[in-house]
């Protein structure tokens, strides 16, 4: 098992390296494009262009350029944006990260609880009226785009019903956890619910399907023949085996979200997370920030994949031998 974990992490490191090379090539080696102009931004003066050329070694061979880039990014951490002159990329990202993480963490807890509960209830009552109701709600939640839902929530909490029902709802913005936990949670409440609703729907449906499948398996038949209660069979046998899929899905979803896929929610609610940062950088074509964000995102996705593989081995003993 230990060897498995080590090998998995080594593989993750190699994948990160490959991604960094790919990102680098996309930004710096696309034929017909002048990287210096891209990095320096739209309103670059010739001096800035020259500066950029020198700093990134654009006259040097490709591998050296790559190493220089990595150096700027990780070691010196002095890669700076040319659009918002002087703003260092890495600190920007590091400041935005906790916001995204707070958003994801809270939403994840909610969607896991609601999704799993929904899936279990639907499967346990399959055929009865509550089953299609949960399915319907789930599909509804999945179909609604996050930005639309976010705007609607904001509309109700900030304008329409602000004076009556939702007077306690704060405006957009983020309050750090360390500063004021109560305000932190309050500001994040509606973003959490918005983001969670999308995923809760998916998880409930996926889990329900897995559970119904599991309940038709031979080992469940054996469990019934043993005289176990349906509840025990559902929770201890079927759910335990179905969780494997859910955990895999969860790891990948969280990885992608932390990497910036929560962008729309952040934009709508004005949370200064990595998603919003990337959004703004895209609008301004702020290349260094974009590059940093891409690598940051890729890192989390790769990490999430590795963690999921290892979790999978913990959950399913059959995988450990392979």
Query: Which residue's CB is nearer to other proteins, number 30 or number 222?
Result: 222
Cα-based angle 295, 262, 148 (whole degrees, multiple of 5) = 145
Of positions 115, 234, 237, 255, contacts other proteins by CB under 8 A: 237
Give the span between the Cα atoms of 320 and 125, in whole angstroms: 34
Give the span between the Cα atoms of 81 and 73, in whole angstroms: 12
Is residue 100 within 8 Å of residue 260, measured between CB atoms?
Answer: yes
Residues 6+ apart with CB under 8 A from 42: 83, 285
**Closest separation in Å from C-beta 53 to other proteins:** 47
Cβ-count burial 91-103 (b if 16+ within 10 Å, e if not)? ebbeebbbbbbbb
**Residue numbers 3-22 binding other proteins by CB under 8 A:** 3-4
**Residue numbers 249-268 binding other proteins by CB under 8 A:** none
Sign of CA dihedral 29, 30, 34, 40: negative
**Residue numbers 121-140 binding other proteins by CB under 8 A:** 127
- Residue 194-223 contact track with other proteins, rule CB under 8 A, x = bound: -----------------------xxx-xxx
- Residue 68-107 contact track with other proteins, rule CB under 8 A, x = bound: ----------------------------------------
**Closest separation in Å from C-beta 240 to other proteins:** 5
Region binding other proteins by CB under 8 A among candidate stretches 50-58, 174-182, 232-240, 300-308: 232-240
2 near other proteins, judged by CB under 8 A: no
Give the span between the Cα atoms of 2 and 310, in whole angstroms: 10
Of positions 49, 144, 228, 311, contacts other proteins by CB under 8 A: 228
Start-to-end Cα distance in the chain: 10
Question: Count of residues binding other proteins (CB under 8 A)?
Answer: 26
Is residue 118 within 8 Å of residue 202, measured between CB atoms?
Answer: no
Footprint of other proteins (CB under 8 A): 3-4, 127, 217-219, 221-230, 232, 237, 240-241, 315-318, 321-322
């Amino acid at each position: 098992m230990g060897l498995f974990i080590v090998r998995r992490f080594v593989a993750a490191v190699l994948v990160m390296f490959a991604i960094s090379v790919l990102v680098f090539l996309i930004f710096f080696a696309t034929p017909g494009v002048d990287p210096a102009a891209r990095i320096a931004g739209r309103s670059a003066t010739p001096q800035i262009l020259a500066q950029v050329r020198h700093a990134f070694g654009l006259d040097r061979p490709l591998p050296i350029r790559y190493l220089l880039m990595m150096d700027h990014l990780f070691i010196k951490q002095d890669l700076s944006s040319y659009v918002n002159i002087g703003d260092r990329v890495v600190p920007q990202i590091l400041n935005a990260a906790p916001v995204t993480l707070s958003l994801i963490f809270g939403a994840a807890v909610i969607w896991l609880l609601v999704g799993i509960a929904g899936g279990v209830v639907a499967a346990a009552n399959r055929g009865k009226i509550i089953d299609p109701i949960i399915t319907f709600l789930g599909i509804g939640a999945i179909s609604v785009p996050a930005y639309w839902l976010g705007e609607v929530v904001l509309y109700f909490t900030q304008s329409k019903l602000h004076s009556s029902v939702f007077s306690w709802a704060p405006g957009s913005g983020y309050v750090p956890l360390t500063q004021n936990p109560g305000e932190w949670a309050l500001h994040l409440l509606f973003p959490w619910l918005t983001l969670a609703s999308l995923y809760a729907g998916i998880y409930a449906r996926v889990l329900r399907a897995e559970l119904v499948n599991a309940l038709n398996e031979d080992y469940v038949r054996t469990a019934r023949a043993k005289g176990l209660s349906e509840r025990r069979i559902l929770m201890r046998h079927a759910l335990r085996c179905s969780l494997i899929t859910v955990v895999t899905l969860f790891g990948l979803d969280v990885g992608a979200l932390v990497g910036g896929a929560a962008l729309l929610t952040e934009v709508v609610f004005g949370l200064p997370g990595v998603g919003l940062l990337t959004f703004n950088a895209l609008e301004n074509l702020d290349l260094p920030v974009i590059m940093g964000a891409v690598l940051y995102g890729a890192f989390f996705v790769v990490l999430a994949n590795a963690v999921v593989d290892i979790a999978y081995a913990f959950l399913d003993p059959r995988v450990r031998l392979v």
